[in-house]
Structure formats: C-alpha cells, structure tokens
C-alpha cells in the first residue's frame, strides 16, 4: 500500500551504530542460518476461514521445505483492504479470534515449531493494522503499523491508530524486527530504530497495489532501507485482485548492503524459500528513537531446518523483469479473474463489436477464466459494417468463446419512432438497447456483464451512460486507448511465441476505431488522435497538470481547452461506471476524487474564476 510521498513523522537523530562494516555488518563471526518462507498469496476480504486455511496449507509446505520461519502479507486474515469493515466491532473481533484459532490449529497440526508472521486486524486503544509472530500455539509478539498512508487509494488514518513501538523478536538467537508496508516508504521510524537497536533482520509485510513500473521503484527503496537499518530485509507482498486493486507480488530479499538475494515473479501465487546467514544478537538495548520505542520479545527455539524434500515450495531465485505490456496484461487478467471468482460468477457476457476494445476485453476474460465461460453477443444495427460482424465471430472462434447475434434494429426503430428521436438521441438509443440486451442476458443466465470502455473514452465522456457504460466490471477502464492497441499486439505476439493461435483478429487491430452509431462514423470525427489525446490526459488526469502547464509544454491551446473541458464535464458519467483494475498512478475512483457540482474550469480565462 504504498506509493510515493506523504507526510512523514520527523526523523530522529541516529546515534552511531556499534558496527562499521559496509552495509552495517557487525564485528562478529557468530551467525545463524535461517530458511525463511515467503508466502506470496491471494487473499479475499472477510474470508477468515478461507484465509486461515490458506495460511495453514502454506505453513505445511514450508515445513516440508525445511523452513523455520514463514512470512505472510499485510492483513492476511482479513484480506486487504477491508475499508469500512474495520469500523465494525464484530469484524475486529472476528479477526482477533481468527488469529488465536490459527495459532492453536497450527500447533494441533504439528506445525507449532514453525514461526509464522501474519498480518491481521487488532484492537488496542483503537483499531490497529497489525502483524503477529506466532509459534508453539500462541501469539509470541504483535506489531502495530507505525506509518499510516493517507494518499491515493489509502485512508488508513480513517481506520487505524498508529503504533509507537518497534517489535523485535529474538528467534534462533537472531533479533528480527517486524514492519508493515508503509513503514518502508517513509523516512524515519522503524528502520531508523532498527539500526540503533542492532536488529539482525527486518521483515516487511505488504498489501502494495500494482501500478505500471512500480516494481522498479520498490527495489531501490528497500535497498536504501536495508542499508539504513544495517540489516537484510525480507519484503513479502500479496497477489490477486480486490475490487479495483490488483496486487502483483514481486516479493524479494535484500542483504544488509542492499544486494538483491532473491526476487519472486509478479502475479504468481506460490510459497518461496530462501536461506540467509544472519548475525547472532549482541544487544539487549531497548532504545527510544524519536517517538518509537523498541520492544523486545524472546521466541521459543525453533526446529532446525531438516532439508526435507520440497513439495509446492520453490527456492527463491531472481525473477527477470518483464515488459510493460506483459506486466499490465498480467494485472488485468488477475484483477478480472479474481473479481469474477470472488463475487461468485462462473461466466461473463460482453458485446463483441469487432473493435479493438471488445476484442482485448474478451481475450483478457478468456485468459482469466477460460474461453468456454465467455459469452459474446453481436448486436449489429443499421450502421454496423460487415467486417465488424465477421471480426467479432472470428474473435469468438479464436478464444473458444460462445457467440450469438441479437438483431437490435427492430428494437431501436421502435424507440426512435415512438419518441421521435433524431441526431445524438437516436445514436444513444442504439447503445442503450445494447446495454439493456446484455443486462437481460445477465439476469437470465447469471453472467457478469463486462464493460469495454477504456480510460481515454472515460476521461472525455465518449461513452453512452446506461449504454456501453453498463456492466459489473470494466477490465480496461484504466488503460489508455493508445495502450490498448499495444496490449493486443503483445498478446498476439506472445501467442505466436508459444506456437498458439493469436486471439485477436488483425483486422480488429488495424482498422480505424468507430462506435458505428451513424453512417461512416469514426472516433476521429469527435476526438483527436489517441496518441496525442492520451499524452494530454496523462498529464491532466494522472499528474494534475493545469491548463497553463499543458500549454507551456507545447500542446495546442485550443486542443487543451477542448480536452480539459470534456474531461471536467464527464465526472458525473465516471461516477456511474463499473469498477475496473487500477494500473496507473491515478485511476478513476478511489484515486481521483473530484466533485460533480463544480464551477472551476481549468480552460476558462483567469478573469472568469
């Protein structure tokens, strides 16, 4: 949960450490080798029994792999993020009970010797985002998150009381500090205190949502924190989707000098393990650093690593970086698949128009849940081209989806003639009839309707409310149109690399985009070139640049005026659009919060303000 800047508590003045080797290595040759499991897992909010069962299964895998310590992500037992469920006393009580029940069940299953660090929701002088160190059937120690994020999608000050202690557990003779996600993104606090306390290892458990290229921001940051603390850092993040958020894993371990020791692949749910040699504890000091006190606890001696045969667990290698297109595709597939499964749907339905957006959404759905569970509907009107109909049918065949054609022209004509509609009103009836058709099929067969709009269209309001904007989930809601084409090209190239049939017809990629709501209509009739449009929107929507900023950067003033006015005027539409996976710095929804009733306009003259 952690991205960039936010207010931080002032850093303390740090006394000189009692070691001076590069990277903070202590003057000691007494070391302990620990095998540590990193549980990169998919969680479901509120599913206490399922989340606890998953922890037990992964701990059993870790035991089979000879691990002595297993680390799970932030808020493992509750799922992340639980939002206003935190305000319910019953939910907080269920979390605490799940923790004690988990500790007891692990011991009963013969897994009590394995130390387990797991995130959960506690209540101690307020609700707490907490980590527990479990061993031998009991909770040995607890840590409460120190830095609470209040930016972007995060409102943790709304829910939690910050901690005031750094919990250090002496385990197998090694002092291990517990930290939670945002603690690593802010200066001062736990990592400063860890160095003063001569901690030998830091664990950082995370619910860190995916954004494009965020994986390349995390590693340099954690390297700095390891050097700051003078100790290795184990960073564990969850995978999977939760409403608009997608978690990419990207768990890793860095040494005290910042060297990368291992890194898990993104979007892969698996237990990994790593062997680390760590210094034996030499200090019992419990310093106070700024407003944070070091609290020490001694855990029972663990069982030694047996080197037993590994079952599901894998040794942690160093996963290579992947392209932007592969990374985003992985996020969209994970977010879409989990939304479908976790909300109890077994199939999806969408309009297949033969265009690029519906083709990419259909391919994402097929990758997420299998083509046989995707139902495409062709809904041609009087203005639909022959190639649109054939491209849609070809797409369905390529991905193994069901496909049917519903002739909407008689329905549209009845509306138009009864209401005497012309122009834009007539165009929008076509989109609304399509939306009603999809919702009817959803009600009849239990499908989840997928909306196919992209971020560029949502930004400028180029969609029909209650028409193409209907649905339960919108897989490419946060993807700019210019990047939608790149995703299609990448997915087809990846299929060819694997010796498979490319899922997206080439004609859907190459033909000019059109809503086909009037004769010869093209998107370019109403919108600028998408590459240019997306460049303006990236600055205006994602980075909050103003009209003057955009003009100073060389964009045409008349074009900027037009784009920002369309964007400002479409806020009410965006509020009614389905949720979709966040992949950008600022997605519509929790990230970007603007009033609908709003007289401020970036593009107006200064004397109009």
Higher pLDDT, 339 or 22: 339
Across 215-248, b (16+ Cβ under 10 Å) vs e yields: beebbeebbebbbbbbbbbbbbbbbbbbbbbbbb
Structural domain harbouring 514: 326-608
Give the model's pLDDT for residue 84: 93
Using 50, 70 and 90 to split pLDDT, how confident is the model at 295? very high
Higher pLDDT, 518 or 541: 541
Give the model's pLDDT for residue 306: 57
* One domain, residues 255 and 331: no
* One domain, residues 227 and 142: yes
Closest listed residue to residue 285, CA positions, set 273, 293, 277, 276: 293
Cis ω before 176 (30° cut-off from 0): no
Q: Is residue 526 part of a domain?
A: yes
Q: CA 20: distance to chain centroid?
A: 39
Least confident span in 189-198, 328-337, 381-390:
381-390
**Mean pLDDT of the 202-221 span:** 93
Domain end: 249, 284, 301, which one?
301
Higher pLDDT, 23 or 177: 177
Whose tokens are 């759905």? That residue is 365
Task: Please give the structure tokens belonging to residue 169.
Answer: 């557990």
Residue 536 predicted with pLDDT over 60: yes
Side-chain half-sphere CA neighbours of 347 within 13 A = 17
Q: Is residue 294 part of a domain?
A: yes
Give the model's pLDDT for residue 514: 65
* One domain, residues 374 and 511: yes
- What is the rounded CA–CA span in Å between residue 408 and residue 517? 12
User: For the whole model, what pTM was predicted?
Assistant: 0.90
Q: Is residue 20 part of a domain?
A: no
Q: Is residue 10 part of a domain?
A: no
* One domain, residues 295 and 408: no
Least confident span in 74-78, 171-175, 392-396, 419-423:
419-423
In terms of average pLDDT, the best of 83-97, 278-292, 308-322 is: 83-97
**Mean pLDDT of the 448-473 span:** 94
Q: Which residues contact 555 (CB under 8 A, 6 or more apart)?
A: 535, 536
**Mean pLDDT of the 505-521 span:** 74
- What is the rounded CA–CA span in Å between residue 323 and residue 336? 20
Can you tell me whether residue 443 is helix, strand or coil?
helix
* Cα angle: 175, vertex 180, 168; to 5 degrees: 20
Total number of domains constituting the chain:
2
Q: Is residue 6 part of a domain?
A: no
Concatenating the DSSP letter of every residue in 257-302 gives: TS-EEEEPPBT--EEEEEEEEEEPP------EETTEEEEEEEPPPP
Using 50, 70 and 90 to split pLDDT, how confident is the model at 424? confident
Give the model's pLDDT for residue 401: 98
**Mean pLDDT of the 290-310 span:** 75
Q: CA 496: distance to chain centroid?
A: 28
Least confident span in 154-158, 210-214, 514-518, 536-540:
514-518
Provide the CATH number for the domain around residue 207. Answer: 3.60.110.10
* One domain, residues 229 and 330: no
Give the model's pLDDT for residue 386: 64
Q: Which helix (H) or strand (E) holds 397?
A: helix 386-399
* One domain, residues 228 and 121: yes
- pLDDT digit string, tens, across residues 242-270: 999 999 999 999 999 999 999 999 999 99
Q: Is residue 317 part of a domain?
A: no
Give the model's pLDDT for residue 383: 63
**Mean pLDDT of the 390-408 span:** 95
**Mean pLDDT of the 517-545 span:** 83
Cβ–Cβ < 8 Å for 264, 304:
no
- What is the rounded CA–CA span in Å between residue 489 and residue 513? 16
- pLDDT digit string, tens, across residues 101-129: 999 999 999 999 999 999 999 999 999 99
Q: Is residue 161 part of a domain?
A: yes
Query: What positions carry a catalytic annotation?
Result: 74, 145, 181
* One domain, residues 397 and 495: yes
- pLDDT digit string, tens, across residues 2-13: 432 223 333 333
Q: CA 291: distance to chain centroid?
A: 32
Provide the CATH number for the domain around residue 461. Answer: 3.40.50.620
Tell me the backbone φ, ψ of residue 16, rounded to 5 degrees: -60, 135
Can you tell me whether residue 368 is helix, strand or coil?
helix
Domain end: 301, 318, 351, which one?
301
* One domain, residues 263 and 395: no
Higher pLDDT, 360 or 427: 360
Task: Please give the structure tokens belonging to residue 377.
Answer: 């509907």
* One domain, residues 293 and 368: no
Concatenating the DSSP letter of every residue in 562-576 gives: HHHHHHHHTHHHHHT
Give the model's pLDDT for residue 281: 92
Give the model's pLDDT for residue 188: 84
Strands 233-237 and 374-378: unpaired
- What is the rounded CA–CA span in Å between residue 587 and residue 127? 28
Residue 604 predicted with pLDDT over 80: no
Give the model's pLDDT for residue 215: 81
* One domain, residues 290 and 359: no
End-to-end CA distance of the chain: 37
* One domain, residues 430 and 342: yes
- State the average pLDDT for the chain: 89
Higher pLDDT, 364 or 287: 364
Task: Please give the structure tokens belonging to residue 431.
Answer: 């989109």
Domain end: 301, 317, 343, which one?
301
- What is the rounded CA–CA span in Å between residue 22 and residue 343? 50
Q: Which residues contact 472 (CB under 8 A, 6 or more apart)?
A: 343, 345, 442, 448, 449, 450, 578
Closest listed residue to residue 399, CA positions, set 481, 491, 478: 491
* One domain, residues 451 and 508: yes
């Amino acid at each position: 949960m952690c991205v960039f800047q936010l207010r931080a508590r002032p850093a303390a003045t740090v006394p000189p450490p009692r070691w001076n080797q590069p990277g903070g290595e202590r003057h000691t040759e007494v070391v302990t080798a620990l095998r540590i499991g990193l549980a990169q897992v998919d969680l479901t909010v509120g599913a206490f029994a399922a989340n606890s069962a998953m922890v037990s299964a992964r701990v059993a895998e870790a035991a089979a792999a000879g691990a002595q310590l297993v680390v799970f992500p932030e808020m493992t037992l509750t799922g992340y993020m639980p939002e206003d469920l935190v305000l319910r006393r019953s939910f907080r009580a269920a979390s605490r009970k799940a923790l004690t029940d988990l500790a007891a069940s692990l011991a009963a299953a013969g897994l009590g010797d394995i130390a387990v660090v797991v995130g959960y929701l506690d209540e101690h002088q307020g609700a707490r985002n907490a980590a527990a160190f479990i061993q031998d059937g009991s909770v040995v120690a607890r840590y409460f998150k120190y830095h609470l994020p209040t930016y972007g999608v995060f409102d943790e000050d709304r829910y939690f009381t910050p901690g005031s202690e750094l919990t250090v557990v002496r385990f197998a003779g090694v002092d291990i500090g517990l930290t939670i996600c945002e603690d690593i993104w802010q200066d001062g606090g736990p990592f400063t205190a860890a160095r003063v306390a001569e901690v030998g290892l830091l664990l950082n458990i995370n619910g860190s949502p995916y954004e494009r290229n965020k994986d390349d921001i995390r590693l340099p940051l954690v390297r700095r924190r390891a050097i700051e603390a003078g100790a290795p850092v184990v960073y564990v993040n969850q995978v999977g989707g939760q409403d608009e958020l997608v978690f990419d894993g990207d768990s890793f371990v860095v040494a005290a000098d910042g060297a990368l020791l291992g890194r898990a692949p993104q979007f892969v749910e698996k237990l990994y393990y790593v062997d680390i040699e760590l210094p034996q504890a030499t200090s019992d000091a419990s310093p106070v650093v700024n407003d944070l006190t070091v609290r020490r606890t001694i855990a029972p001696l663990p069982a030694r690593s047996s080197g037993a045969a590994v079952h599901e667990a894998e040794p942690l290698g160093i996963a290579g970086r992947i392209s932007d297109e592969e990374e985003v595709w992985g996020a969209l597939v994970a977010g879409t698949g989990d939304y479908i499964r976790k909300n109890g749907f077994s199939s999806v339905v969408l309009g297949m128009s033969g265009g690029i957006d519906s083709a990419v959404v259909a391919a994402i759905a097929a990758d997420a849940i299998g083509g046989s569970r995707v139902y495409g509907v062709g809904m041609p009107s009087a203005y639909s081209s022959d190639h649109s109909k054939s491209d849609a049918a070809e797409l369905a065949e390529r991905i193994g989806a069901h496909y049917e054609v519903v002739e909407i022209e008689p329905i549209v004509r009845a509306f138009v003639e009864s209401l005497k509609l012309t122009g834009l009103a007539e165009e929008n009836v076509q989109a609304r009839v399509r939306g009603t058709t999809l919702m009817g099929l959803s009600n009849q067969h239990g499908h989840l309707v997928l909306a196919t709009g992209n971020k560029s269209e949502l930004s400028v309001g180029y969609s029909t409310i209650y028409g193409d904007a209907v649905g339960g989930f919108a897989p490419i809601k946060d993807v700019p149109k210019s990047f939608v084409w790149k995703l299609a090209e990448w997915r087809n190239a990846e299929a060819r690399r694997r010796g498979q049939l490319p899922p997206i017809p080439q004609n859907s990629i190459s033909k000019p985009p059109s809503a086909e709501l009037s004769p010869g209509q093209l998107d370019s009739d109403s919108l600028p070139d998408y590459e240019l449009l997306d460049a303006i929107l990236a600055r205006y929507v994602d980075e909050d640049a103003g009209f003057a900023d955009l003009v100073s950067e060389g964009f045409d003033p008349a074009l900027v005026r037009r784009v920002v006015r369309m964007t400002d005027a479409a806020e009410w539409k965006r509020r009614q659009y389905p949720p979709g996976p966040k992949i950008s710095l600022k997605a519509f929804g929790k990230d970007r919060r603007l009033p609908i009733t709003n007289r401020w306009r970036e593009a107006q003259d200064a004397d109009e303000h």
